């Protein structure tokens, strides 16, 4: 590895150009305090972009999930169904509330929650008289889950849905924006996401009253009194006005970022798509993935190398790549949690973890940088 080669990151922040202007606006108005014009404008723009009634911008996507659980009255001993193949931030808020997660496997067509496994799990829960308080459905790596079918199943049992679209802002399914199918939708603006506020997130919903309560809970649940009055537990979860200025600038270029990430995917697909043992994350018919990360599986028996061999070889060239998320049902934290496979004897998420990896996918990647990645992978696969 040449010492002159710059590091290629998995997913680097990519500024759009207007962020500084919005931040300067906050300084000129002296809105350095937590709330202000940027927060309001960012919420309005985010709701308009996604075609929903409203949005509440928060300190993280994790905070958004937590507040959604609070508003669905999830508490001690309750059950919450959750996608297993996800980052731990999806599942941790279940524990914050003292609830018990039950994990649902993925399906091959989307890598997201299996409708068959969910229907089986809800059927058994109904028979036992212990339906979950909610189901958290994740849209992995930008690809929408089969939200129409999953919502139909949940509605049949009267169970509300939190749609974790932390990785899929800008994606679409059946003509609707990702994150707008559930009772609540969650976005993340973490530093590695398709747009970023450094750290931040949002909760969206068609229920304006629920979003008002979100803001109330996120500002320490302060009652409307002259003095500081508090009747219930609140949190310090609101996004700051400075950070929201970054978000406004990022949202201005979201569609451009989606196009750039899809372009990165297409170049990888053109390079490796026909190689033995390589299978890219599919794009469900009727959907448009933002391709936040280019994810693929490598069968070592057919390809001659494993996904870990590729990650190691890229690392030697100062290039960051990662395995796909380790499923929650395999995590020590959740070793006692129940788990429903896609089909009896077939755990899709286990297979994806066993063979899957994510390649560098930054929207700011040059073709030269991507050629470096492709060159390393091609040498191994050929």
Considering 253, 272, 293, which residue would you say is the last residue of a domain? 253
Range of the domain at 304: 255-381
Please, which pLDDT band fits residue 3 given cuts at 50, 70 and 90? low
Vertex 153: Cα angle to 147 and 156 (nearest 5): 135
Q: What is the mean pLDDT of residues 344-367?
A: 98
Q: Are residues 317 and 184 in the same domain?
A: no
Which of 133, 177, 193, 288 is labelled catalytic? 193
Average per-residue pLDDT for the chain? 96
Please, which pLDDT band fits residue 288 given cuts at 50, 70 and 90? very high
Structure tokens at 59: 């300190």
Q: What is the DSSP string of 52-90?
A: -SEEEEES-HHHHHHHHHHHTT--TT-EEEEESSS-GGG
Q: Are residues 219 and 317 in the same domain?
A: no
Q: Are residues 235 and 282 in the same domain?
A: no
Q: Are residues 249 and 260 in the same domain?
A: no
Q: Which ranges of the chain does DSSP label H, i.e. alpha helix?
A: 19-28, 37-50, 61-71, 92-96, 115-128, 147-156, 208-218, 241-251, 254-272, 300-303, 307-316, 348-355, 367-381
Give the pairing of strands 134-138 and 79-83: parallel
- Distance, in Å, from the CA atom of 360 to the CA atom of 76, rounded to the nearest integer, reads 40
**Roughly what angle, to the nearest 10 degrees, separates helices 208-218 and 61-71?**
110
Residue 162 in domain: yes
* CATH code of the domain in which 334 resides: 3.90.1150.10
Contacts 24+ apart (CB under 8 A), 219-223: none
Considering 207, 238, 253, which residue would you say is the last residue of a domain? 253
Name the domain count of the chain: 2
What was the pLDDT predicted at 5? 87
Please, which pLDDT band fits residue 29 given cuts at 50, 70 and 90? confident
What was the pLDDT predicted at 32? 78
* CATH code of the domain in which 54 resides: 3.40.640.10
What was the pLDDT predicted at 194? 98
Residue 105 in domain: yes
Q: Is 177 an annotated catalytic residue?
A: no
Residue 1 has pLDDT above 60, yes or no: no
Q: Are residues 211 and 290 in the same domain?
A: no
Helix (H) or strand (E) holding 297: strand 294-298
- Distance, in Å, from the CA atom of 196 to the CA atom of 190, rounded to the nearest integer, reads 5
Considering 196, 218, 253, which residue would you say is the last residue of a domain? 253
What was the pLDDT predicted at 4? 58
Residue 353 has pLDDT above 70, yes or no: yes
Contacts of residue 175, defined as CB under 8 A and 6 or more positions apart, other chains included, come to none
pLDDT above 70 covers what percent of the chain? Answer: 99
Residue 337 has pLDDT above 60, yes or no: yes
Q: Are residues 211 and 288 in the same domain?
A: no
Q: Are residues 141 and 106 in the same domain?
A: yes
Residue 2 has pLDDT above 70, yes or no: no
The tens digit of pLDDT for each residue in 198-255 reads 999 999 999 999 999 999 999 999 999 889 999 999 999 999 999 999 999 999 999 9
């Amino acid at each position: 590895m040449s010492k002159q080669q710059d590091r290629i990151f998995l997913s680097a922040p990519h500024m759009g150009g207007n962020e500084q202007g919005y931040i300067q606006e906050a300084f000129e108005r002296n809105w350095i305090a937590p709330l202000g014009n940027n927060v309001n404008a960012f919420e309005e723009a985010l709701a308009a972009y996604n075609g929903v009634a409203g949005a509440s911008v928060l300190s993280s996507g994790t905070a958004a999930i937590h507040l959604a659980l609070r508003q669905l009255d999830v508490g001690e001993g309750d059950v919450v169904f959750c996608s297993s193949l996800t980052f731990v931030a999806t599942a941790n808020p279940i524990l914050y509330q003292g609830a018990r997660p039950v994990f649902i496997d993925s399906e091959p067509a989307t890598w997201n929650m299996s409708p068959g496994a969910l229907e089986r799990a809800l059927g058994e829960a109904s028979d036992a008289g212990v339906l979950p308080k909610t189901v958290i459905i994740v849209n992995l790596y930008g690809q929408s889950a089969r939200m129409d079918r999953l919502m139909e199943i949940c509605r049949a049992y009267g169970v509300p849905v939190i749609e974790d679209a932390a990785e899929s802002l800008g994606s679409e399914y059946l003509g609707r924006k990702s994150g707008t199918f559930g009772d609540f939708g969650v976005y993340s603006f973490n530093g590695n996401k398709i747009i970023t506020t450094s750290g931040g997130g949002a909760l969206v919903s068609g229920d304006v009253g629920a979003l008002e309560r979100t803001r109330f809970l996120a500002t320490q649940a302060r009652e409307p009194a002259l003095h500081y009055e508090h009747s219930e537990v609140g949190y310090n979860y609101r996004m700051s006005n400075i950070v929201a200025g970054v978000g406004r600038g990022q949202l201005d270029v979201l569609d451009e970022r989606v196009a750039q990430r899809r372009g990165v995917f297409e170049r990888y697909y053109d390079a490796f798509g026909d190689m033995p043992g390589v299978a890219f994350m599919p794009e469900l018919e009727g959907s448009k993935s933002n391709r936040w990360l280019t994810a693929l599986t490598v069968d070592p028996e057919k390809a001659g190398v494993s996904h870990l061999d590729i990650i190691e070889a890229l690392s030697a060239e100062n290039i960051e790549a990662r395995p796909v998320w380790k499923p929650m049902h395999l995590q020590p934290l959740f070793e006692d949690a129940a788990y429903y496979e896609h089909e009896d004897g077939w755990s899709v998420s286990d297979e994806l973890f066993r063979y899957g990896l994510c390649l560098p996918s930054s929207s700011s990647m040059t073709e030269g940088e991507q050629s470096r990645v492709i060159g390393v992978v091609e040498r191994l696969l050929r």
